[in-house]
Amino acid sequence: MLTRRIFSHAGEPWEGNNVPLQADIVLITKLWNEYSTGPCPISFSSAEADSIIHLQSMQEEVDLQLKLVRDFIGVGVDGWTSPDAYEAAYSCARQMKVDGLASLDTE
């Protein structure tokens, strides 16, 4: 599974997202002895590895929240909604924006 994830995540940096690939590489360095008998050619300091794993965890949480918002509004990952649902999705998104801005403490 890890090999498959690394392959899958390898294309994402070109889309502006290298956090999953970095997290996979950190994980492979930690599991290196299970895959090879030689020394791992990549290393991370503990602080660097912890930072990458924490960033991955935060990104997963934000991705989940974004999915919940998209599902609530009724749009896909690309922002598409059916023509029949457009007005309702637009209205919902607009109200969420108004409510979100109203909840801020500063201008």
pLDDT digits (tens, 9 = 90+) for 19-64: 999 999 999 999 998 888 899 999 999 999 999 999 999 999 999 9
Residues 67 and 90 in one domain: no
Residues 67 and 83 in one domain: no
Residue 11 gets which letter from DSSP?
T
Residues 85 and 39 in one domain: no
Residues 80 and 56 in one domain: no
Residues 48 and 96 in one domain: no
Residue 92 binned pLDDT confidence (cut-offs 50, 70, 90): very high
Residue 52 gets which letter from DSSP?
H
Residue 83 binned pLDDT confidence (cut-offs 50, 70, 90): very high
Residues 62 and 89 in one domain: no
Residue 24's CB: how many other CB atoms inside 10 A? 20
pTM: 0.72
Distance of alpha carbon 56 from alpha carbon 60, whole angstroms = 6
Whole domain around residue 33: which residue ranges? 1-71
